[in-house]
Amino acid sequence: DLHSFPTRRSSDLSFVSFSVEKGEFVAIMGASGSGKSTCMNMLGTLDKPTNGEYYLEGVNVFTLSADELSDIRNNKIGFVFQGFNLISRTSALDNVSMPMIYKGLPESERYKRAREALKVVGLEDKENNRPSQMSGGQQQRVAIARAIVNDAPLILADEPKLRSEERFSRNAETD
């Protein structure tokens, strides 16, 4: 059981409960304002509910200290935020390697793994580009590479298909 999440934090998430097994892909869908991002922030240990429990690999994360939560975010959770949260003044390679700084990995290992992650998402030729030099879809793939670079067992993606759908819509209009 990867996690179980009952909470009474807000009316949007009252009595929510679910579990995800290792290797499963789960989509939380709902109307705008229904609490999807709030739920993701709680699953990512960025927010805490006023009540409830959340177990990640058997540990109730809402009982952990701030340092322990930080360790969980760095080692067990990869994030793809709706706005991607890329650092505008840094290259794709540096954006992807950022989480590994907190793991204390040497620069050579960080860049090696970041290049591998960029290759996985098809952006090996964009490693020196800054976010402003990339399309929205490319920025999203940099964010995905950053989320997978530490081999986290849990990847959380907020609106993961947004950019590809926008690109498809633009292409359909010009065809």
Per-residue pLDDT reduced to its tens digit, 59-96: 999 899 999 999 999 889 998 887 889 999 999 999 99
Q: pTM score, two decimals?
A: 0.78
Is the separation of the CB atoms in 19 and 26 below 8 Å? no
Cβ-count burial 101-115 (b if 16+ within 10 Å, e if not): eeeebeeeebbebbb
Q: Strands 77-80 and 154-157, how do they pair?
A: parallel
Q: How confident is the model at residue 54 (pLDDT cuts 50, 70, 90)?
A: confident
Q: pLDDT tens across 23-37, in order? A: 888 888 888 888 888
Task: Pick the range with the lowest mean pLDDT from 36-45, 138-147, 157-166.
Answer: 157-166
Q: pLDDT tens across 110-140, in order? A: 999 999 999 999 999 999 999 999 999 999 9
How large is the average pLDDT for residues 6-21? 65
Amino acid symbol at 43: L
Percent of the chain, pLDDT > 90?
45
Q: Rounded to an integer, what distance in angstroms lies between the CA atom of residue 117 and that of residue 127?
A: 10
pLDDT (0 to 100) of residue 35: 82
Has residue 98 got a pLDDT over 80? yes
The β-bridge partners of 52 are 7
Q: How confident is the model at residue 161 (pLDDT cuts 50, 70, 90)?
A: low
Is the separation of the CB atoms in 33 and 74 below 8 Å? no
